[in-house]
Amino acid sequence: MSTSNHNLNNRPIGFFDSGVGGLSVYSKFKKLLRNENTLYFGDLAHLPYGNKSREELIGYARGILNFYKEKNVKAVVIACNTSSAQAYDTVKNEYDFKIYPIIQSCAQVIATQNIKKIGVFATMATVNSAVYTRELKKYNQGLQIKEIPCPNWVDIVESGRYQDDSAVNDIKIHLEEMMKFEPEKIILGCTHYPYLLDLLAAFTTKELFIDPAEIFVEYIAEDLKALGMLSQEIESSEENIYVSANPQNFVEHSKIFYKINKLPNVINLNN
């Protein structure tokens, strides 16, 4: 490999989500591709994304993509279903680096799993976009899909109030509604939701749920490899987390979710 390619491949990959949720993708990615330099942006100033308009979500995505452009990234991972659903189609050709949206990247693998009925739990904005249905149907026309919005679940995760009766009840109500559809699998279509898996599994089985994060990181790894874009460094040196507000909140809640050695620097961009 030429030196210039080598240097280009060692540029960082930027991840983003509205908060800690995307760490479910980020932490899996770090385990799979240890050589990659990575950055993470938690847009806490605009959390939750799930109740924002399309125009707002496009604006947030552009702001973060412009920030990552300044950081000279080789790729950006949209570790957020809501942004993938509402902003990706509009911004995808505006940048000269690779952009990986979670929904569109995972749809083919999920749609071809030999199942007939699939449920999707997601934010209001993701469900309103119907992008899960659109993308899954591209690969499996006959698939029956039911999307149900869960407007309180991001707050349950970000506030860490898993044990509250109101949280448990909210989860139970949505699950009961979904079970009437008799899905063979349910996609956790928001990166925050895998953290509720134990609560969901209390009413059914863990095997019923698909966390797209695993499929997503494998897709990105294979694509980077196919494009000859994998970093060749032995050890990653650069790893920062940026937040647009509330760094203390992010640190506290990410401790529960971030399962790699220690949390990197958390930098508040609004200081």
Do the beta carbons of residue 49 and residue 80 sit within 8 Å? yes
Is 80 assigned a catalytic role?
yes
> Any contact of residue 18 with ligand DGL (CB under 6 A)?
yes
Count residues contacting ligand DGL (CB under 6 A)?
16
Catalytic residue among 190, 210, 213, 217: 190
CB 185 within 8 A of CB 176: no
Residue selected from 188, 190, 196, 200 as contacting ligand DGL according to rule CB under 6 A: 190
What are the structure tokens assigned to 74, written together? 């080789």
In the residue annotation, 190 being an active-site residue is answered as yes
Q: Is 187 helix (H, G, I), strand (E, B) or coil?
A: strand
Question: What residues have CB less than 8 Å from 147, skipping those under 6 apart?
Answer: 119, 120, 122, 126, 127, 130, 132, 133, 189
Task: Out of 104, 123, 129, 133, name the contact with ligand DGL by CB under 6 A.
Answer: 123
**Candidate residues 14, 21, 101, 119; the one interacting with ligand DGL per rule CB under 6 A:** 21
Question: Exactly one of 80, 111, 145, 178 is catalytic; which is it?
Answer: 80
Could you say whether residue 120 binds ligand DGL (CB under 6 A)? no
**What is the token pair recorded at 71?**
């950081």
Q: 224-244: b or e for each residue (b if 16 or more CB lie within 10 Å)?
A: beeeebbbeeeebeebbbbbb
- 9 vs 254, beta carbon nearer ligand DGL: 254
Q: By CB under 6 A, tell whether 254 contacts ligand DGL.
A: no
154 touches ligand DGL (CB under 6 A): yes
- Segment near ligand DGL (CB under 6 A), from 2-10, 13-21, 129-137, 206-214? 13-21
CB of 155 to ligand DGL, least distance (A): 9
Of 30-38, 76-84, 91-99, 241-249, which segment contacts ligand DGL by CB under 6 A?
A: 76-84
- 49 binding ligand DGL? (CB under 6 A): yes
Distance, in Å, from the CA atom of 48 to the CA atom of 56, rounded to the nearest integer, reads 12
d(CA 241, CA 40): 5
* C-alpha separations of 271 from 43, 241, 245, 253 in Å: 14, 14, 9, 20
Among 105, 129, 133, 191, binds ligand DGL (CB under 6 A): 191
Interatomic CA distance for residues 161 and 164, integer angstroms: 6
Catalytic residues: 80, 190
Which residues of this chain interact with ligand DGL, rule CB under 6 A?
17-18, 21, 47-50, 80-82, 123, 126, 154, 190-192
